[in-house]
Amino acid sequence: MENSMPSVLAGMTLLVLGESHMSLADHLMEPLHDNLTRQGAIVHSIGACGASAGDWLITKKVDCGAEQKGNGKIVIKGRDATTTPIGELIAADKPDLVVIVIGDTMASYDKPSFPKAWAWQSVTGLTKAIAATGTK
């Protein structure tokens, strides 16, 4: 049953960043972006394969990526993909809310043990950069 109440997201601008699951067709980007848009949000979604939190502080070449803006179609970037520093993205989009969707790359699934100090530094660096802009 469709909810007739207005969404709290209606009219909000969202910047959604993620890793490979936000970079490939028929994965998370399309349903997440579409759902947020249906709720009235203005959404800019970007995926960068293998990008950790700290990679959004710099421009880094990644193996694959994708981007979708508003009601536009998803653009699969393939090997031409890069991250864009979060400060530049926030300055361009002026989002009300930034959503970060990162899991495996921060868990270092390819390493024998979880690198706690690196993960803490990477996440803290990104959250401080977001907070410095006044964005939530």
Distance CA 117, CA 121 (A): 6
Average confidence score pLDDT of the chain: 91
Q: Tens of pLDDT along 66-89?
A: 999 999 999 999 888 999 999 999
Q: What is the pLDDT of residues 45-67, one digit of tens each?
A: 999 999 999 999 999 999 999 99
Domains of the chain by residue range: 13-132
Residue 108, phi-psi category: left (phi > 0), alpha (psi -120 to 50), beta (remainder): left
Q: CA-to-CA distance for 51 and 64, rounded, in angstroms?
A: 10
Whole-angstrom distance, CA of residue 3 vs CA of residue 21: 28
Is 1 a residue whose pLDDT tops 70?
A: no
Q: Which pLDDT band, with edges at 50, 70 and 90, does 3 fall under?
A: low
For the chain, first and last CA: distance in Å?
31
* Interval 20-33: pLDDT, tens: 889 987 889 999 99
Burial of 21 (0-12, 13-18, 19+ CB in 10 A): middle
